[in-house]
Amino acid sequence: VAGQPRTRLALDERRAQLLALGQEMFSARSYDEISIDEIAAAAGVSKGLLYHYFPTKRDFYVAGLREAAAEIRALTEPDLSLPPAERLQHSLRAYLDYVETHAVGFRSLLRGGIGSDAEVRAILDETRAGTEARVLDGIGLVDPPPAVRLALRGWLAFVEEVSLEWLDRREPDRDTLVDVLMVVLGSAVEAAARAG
């Protein structure tokens, strides 16, 4: 019993290492191109051990996505000590920091390859819905009209696309990019609110 925590930790660490490796591999090549054999070989473990953690390649992939989504969510948690408008700016900075330091995993999350899979879609949708709720909170809207919701979804897509492209050149700098994103959010919500 005394050794159990350490064993559990070792198991969790191994699992996390496998997931990190998976994010890296799936981000460089497509889901279909990568086999379980290749993953096991790259990780230096037996296929049997890999299957012990993840019964199928899809399970492995989905677990990696879930991990990345949870990480982003935690890192961009609004800082409630800040005024609402600054919370959003703060979260966007944290988001871009994540994007920068986890470039590979981030690409994997958004462009990994099985976006039509129901569970993958659900993880992305859930992440986006969570972000949407935070943004609504940040701009102080409780029950916005359909056009504003539409604009918010559009803005989230804007942020995702720009973040992915930004990784290639890192221009402009992070804070300037956050300013641009805030301006676009403001004008999109305003124009949509006028549209009703």
Site for a copy of itself, rule CB under 8 A: 30-32, 111-118, 146-147, 149-151, 153-162, 165-166, 169, 171-172, 176-177, 179-180, 183-184, 186-188, 190-192, 195-196
Helix pair angle (4-28, 36-43), 10° resolution: 120
Report the nearest approach of a copy of itself to the CB of residue 47 (Å): 22
Main-chain phi, psi angles of 91, to 5 degrees = -65, -40
Report the nearest approach of a copy of itself to the CB of residue 133 (Å): 16
Identity of the residue, 49 or 55, whose beta carbon is nearer to a copy of itself in the bound complex: 55
Report the nearest approach of a copy of itself to the CB of residue 77 (Å): 24
Please name the residues in contact with 47: beta carbons below 8 A apart, sequence gap of 6 or more.
Answer: 36, 37, 40
Identity of the residue, 37 or 175, whose beta carbon is nearer to a copy of itself in the bound complex: 175
For residue 172, is the peptide bond before it cis, meaning its omega torsion is within 30 degrees of 0?
yes
Q: How far is CA 139 from CA 84, 154, 156, 165, 182, in A?
A: 7, 16, 14, 26, 11
Count of CB atoms situated within 10 Å of the CB of 44: 8
Identity of the residue, 9 or 157, whose beta carbon is nearer to a copy of itself in the bound complex: 157
Report the nearest approach of a copy of itself to the CB of residue 153 (Å): 5
Report the nearest approach of a copy of itself to the CB of residue 102 (Å): 19
Identity of the residue, 106 or 166, whose beta carbon is nearer to a copy of itself in the bound complex: 166
CA 55 to CA 175: how far, in whole Å?
42
CB 96 within 8 A of CB 38: no
